[in-house]
Structures are given as C-alpha cells and as structure tokens.
Amino acid sequence: MRVSVFGAGYVGLVTAACFADVGNHVVCVDVDSEKITLLNQGIVPMHEPGMENLLVTNLNTGRLQFTTDPAVAVQHGEVLFIAVGTPPDEDGSADLQYVLQVAHVIGQLMTETKCVVNKSTVPVGTATAVKNTILRALNERGLDYPVDVVSNPEFLKEGAAIADFMRPDRIVLGTDSPEAIEVMRELYAPFNRNRDRLIVMSVASAELTKYAANAILATKISFMNEMANLADSVGADIEQVRLGIGSDPRIGFDFLYAGCGYGGSCFPKDVKALRHTFQAFGGEAKILQAVENVNQQQHHRLFDKIKKFYGEDLTGRCFALWGLAFKPNTDDMREAPSRTLLSLLWAAGARVQAYDPKAMSEARRIYGQRADFKLCDSPHAALDKADALIIMTEWKVFRSPDFSAIKNQLKQAVIFDGRNLYDPKRMKARGFRYFGIGRGE
C-alpha cells in the first residue's frame, strides 16, 4: 500500500518505518528541514532502541522516503496519517493548531479521495474538526470528494516503541465507514496475525480511549505513590505491598512501581488535557485532579528527604545524580522528575555531578554551562567527593553497582533512591544510610 505520514516526530517516525518494514511504500513529511536532512542520511534525531537499524534498512530498499514537501506526501498516499504534536496550550488543553494545519494542507492538495487517519493524541471531537477543515479547503477549490477521517490512537512506549508497534496489544479504530475499516484492516494485517487485535468503535470512543488509557496508568502510579508515602510513615515497605496486591489478577503487577513521580511527554500532558475536556463540558475531573496533585508532590519527595537529612541550606554540598531521562532507554527529559530535583537542589545552594547513559546532550542543551552542574562521563566519575548519591532513573547499569567503590568515593555512605533499586536491609548491612520511596525511611 502507499502510505504517507505527516510528522517525523516520535510517533510519526516509528509509524512510517514500521509500515515500510512490512512492505508498504511510505513517504514521511515534516516542516523541519534539518530533521528531514538527517533522516534521509539515516540519522535518527532521538534515542530509540532499534530505530536506526529500521530506518537505514528501509531507506536502502527505497520503501521509506522523507520530504518537506506536503504535495509529494498528499499525492503519494492512499492512506494519510496525521502524527504531528499536540503540545499543551497555556490552559492545559491540547493545542490543535498543527493537526488542523495538516488537515488544511491536505484539503488544499488532494486530487482524489483519501483515507485520512489521525494518530496524534487529540481531544474528543477532533476527527470531526479535521474532516470539516479538509472539506472547507476542498470547497474553496470548488471540490467535494468524500472524506473519511479515522481515529487510530497510538499506544507506543518510548524505549519500546518499535516492539509496541510490531506486536500491539490492540489496534483501536474509530470510524463508521465500512470502506475505511477495510483499508485499515489490510494495512494492519501484518501486525494482526495470530488473533484479531482490531477493535472498531465510534470516532469519539476511540479518541477518549487514548486519554482514558494513559489516565488510568497515571492513576495507578499516583495511587502507589500515595501508598508509598503512607508506608514511610507507618514503617511498611511499598515493594512488599506491591507484591502482595499485584498477585491478585484483578490488580496485576504492571505500573505499580512507586517512585519519584511520572514524567515524559504523555502522562502529564494527557492528564491535563483530559481534565480540560471535563471542564469544557461543564464537569470536574476529581480523580484526575488528585492524580496530578500527588504527582507534583511526588517530584519533591526525594528532595524533602534530602532536606530532612541535611537541613534546609545545602550550600557547599555536592550530590552525585544517576539518571536524568524521565525513564530508561530514552534521552527524553520532558517533565522528568530529575528536572524538578535539580532546580530544588540548586535553589538550596547545592552542586550536582550527573551521569545518564543517553540524556547527557539533552541535559547540556537544556542547562548549558553552569558552575553548579557537572556532566560526568561515567557513573563513578559522578560520585567523586560527593556528599551522597541520588538515583532518578532506573537504567539497567545502575541496578548492580560496585557498592564498595561507591562507599569509597562518597564522603558519606548515603543514597537517596527515587526508583527503589536496592534492598533496604542489604543496604544497611553494607553500611549505607539508604532512603527509598515508601520503604520505611
């Protein structure tokens, strides 16, 4: 099939490369000419495991092309995917200007009927707005082709996006057009083999499904963080509680890890946007408000423990920080808990020596040169003469470190762990003061 994808960001790029990999001819278009030049050279502008291989292989076969020219994309694709960003507006609602700009351009350039598919995360009603925008642009040209706009939300996790695309749990399609369902069924057939994963529903239901999925996951995390804070007060261990409740299949083990709060480009933005949708319809999202509040407080939780240990003024103190990315296997620092912690440490007068396996250039881009921030090229270099170690991302390489080397390098054997990587009892036996989240201290 001939497919075009608007947007070469995270979702667009993964979508384009995965469709090309199963034999489709894909054109991916973006307004960012620097990004398109890099992609055409086989360079991926972000860190995503497996992406570079997929890109280079499919560029070499000629099945994947990148362009800045929307006319090429509109002409090429039988199916046109919209996968551009929906950043939060000032009031927290999703900013639809990029999605609607693409819709307008499609309407200006279309010369035959196309199946338009929205993959961007958008509030309920956006598919209709996209359809109306295309129809208006067609009308301005004196044309009126029938236009189907399908909602096909993505469920890709950063760091595992290719596997999530290739082996999806479900493929959600919001449409009432039998023709569009057939086209999409054929396009997704290679990813839908041993059981039918296609769930067809109304457009509004598909749009809401995306937000509801992220919101319930964020809710699980905030719930566990709230329990963890109580566990600290009553001397319980949230890890043991997690095992105790997760073994009930109605609850399950996934997304029950307490920690320093959720971050990234999706949960914070989507919870806010969904709250905004409630308000727009005269309602109030009470649970989501609490989920957001707990998360904001949780970003401060480790700093509160640091302050309790050292006092308010951290002038002259230096901390080793392991992990800057909002989660492992990505270089993404959007809404990362590490960013809140850094600002709090700096405001209290401390210096930070940080290491992250992938997010160093991103940190350099965000913070530039500062006297109170040093980026180190190994976990152990970051420890050098620091007062304590702080862990903010659960990268594999931090899971089994050389504890005696840590003890030797730190001024005092103290660890503040925002990801609960180690066993508190064993840490005590090793001679550390060890502060986790919800582990009794």
Binding site for substrate, residues? 155-158, 210, 255-259, 263, 327
What residues contact residue 350 under an 8 Å CB cut-off, 6+ apart?
Answer: 314, 315, 317, 318, 319, 372
- Of 303, 326, 367, 416, the residue at the interface with ligand UGA (CB under 6 A) is 326
Q: How far apart are CA 223 and CA 108, in angstroms?
A: 47
What residues contact residue 381 under an 8 Å CB cut-off, 6+ apart?
Answer: 353, 355
- Helix-strand-coil split of the chain, %, nearest 5: 45, 15, 40
- The site map against ligand UGA for 62-81 (x = CB under 6 A) is --------------------
- Of 48, 148, 154, 417, the residue at the interface with ligand UGA (CB under 6 A) is 154
Least Å distance, CB 225 to ligand UGA, is: 8
Q: Does 257 bind ligand UGA (CB under 6 A)?
A: yes
The one-letter amino acid at 50: G
Query: 262 or 434: whose CB is closer to ligand UGA?
Result: 262
DSSP class of residue 92? S
The one-letter amino acid at 359: A
Strand-pairing partners, residue 147, are none
Query: 148 or 158: whose CB is closer to ligand UGA?
Result: 158
- Of 93, 209, 214, 353, the residue at the interface with ligand UGA (CB under 6 A) is 214
Query: 264 or 357: whose CB is closer to ligand UGA?
Result: 264
Bind-site residues for NAD(+): 30, 35, 86, 121, 158, 269, 334
- Of 107, 263, 424, 436, the residue at the interface with ligand UGA (CB under 6 A) is 263
Q: How far apart are CA 3 and CA 342, in angstroms?
A: 43
- Of 191, 255, 310, 346, the residue at the interface with ligand UGA (CB under 6 A) is 255
Least Å distance, CB 266 to ligand UGA, is: 3
> Torsion-angle region of residue 145: left (phi > 0), alpha (psi -120 to 50) or beta?
beta
Q: Does 395 bind ligand UGA (CB under 6 A)?
A: no
Rounded alpha-carbon distances, angstroms, from residue 114 to 14, 16, 58, 123: 22, 17, 24, 23
Say if residue 383 is exposed, middle or buried (CB neighbours under 10 Å; 0-12, 13-18, 19+).
buried
Backbone angles phi, psi at 141, to 5 degrees: -95, 10
Bind-site residues: 30, 35, 86, 121, 155-158, 210, 255-259, 263, 269, 327, 334
| 318 catalytic residue (yes or no) | no
Least Å distance, CB 94 to ligand UGA, is: 12
**CA triple 377-351-346, angle to 5 deg:** 120
Q: Does 156 bind ligand UGA (CB under 6 A)?
A: yes
Query: 191 or 255: whose CB is closer to ligand UGA?
Result: 255
Assess contact for 372 and 399: CB atoms under 8 A: no
Least Å distance, CB 11 to ligand UGA, is: 7
Backbone angles phi, psi at 173, to 5 degrees: -125, 120
Q: Which stretch binds ligand UGA (CB under 6 A): 22-30, 89-97, 156-164, 355-363?
A: 156-164
Least Å distance, CB 349 to ligand UGA, is: 27
Assess contact for 189 and 243: CB atoms under 8 A: no
- Of 3, 73, 74, 256, the residue at the interface with ligand UGA (CB under 6 A) is 256
Query: 119 or 317: whose CB is closer to ligand UGA?
Result: 119
Query: 262 or 416: whose CB is closer to ligand UGA?
Result: 262
Query: 138 or 217: whose CB is closer to ligand UGA?
Result: 217
Handedness of CA 81, 215, 88, 46 (dihedral sign): negative
Question: Could you say which of 28, 115, 266, 376 is catalytic?
Answer: 266
Name residue, tokens 């933005």.
Answer: 269
DSSP per position, 252-283: -STT---SS---SSSHHHHHHHHHHHHHHTT-
Structure tokens at 423: 């066993």
- The site map against ligand UGA for 103-122 (x = CB under 6 A) is ------------------x-
Name residue, tokens 């109306």.
Answer: 132
Query: 221 or 382: whose CB is closer to ligand UGA?
Result: 221
Least Å distance, CB 295 to ligand UGA, is: 9
> Torsion-angle region of residue 19: left (phi > 0), alpha (psi -120 to 50) or beta?
alpha
SS3 sequence, 185-202?
HHHHHHHCCCCCCEEEEC
Residues 218-247 touching ligand UGA, rule: CB under 6 A, are 221
Least Å distance, CB 320 to ligand UGA, is: 20
Residues in contact with ligand UGA by CB under 6 A are: 121, 154-158, 214, 217, 221, 255-257, 259, 262-264, 266-267, 326-327
The residues carrying an active-site annotation are: 266
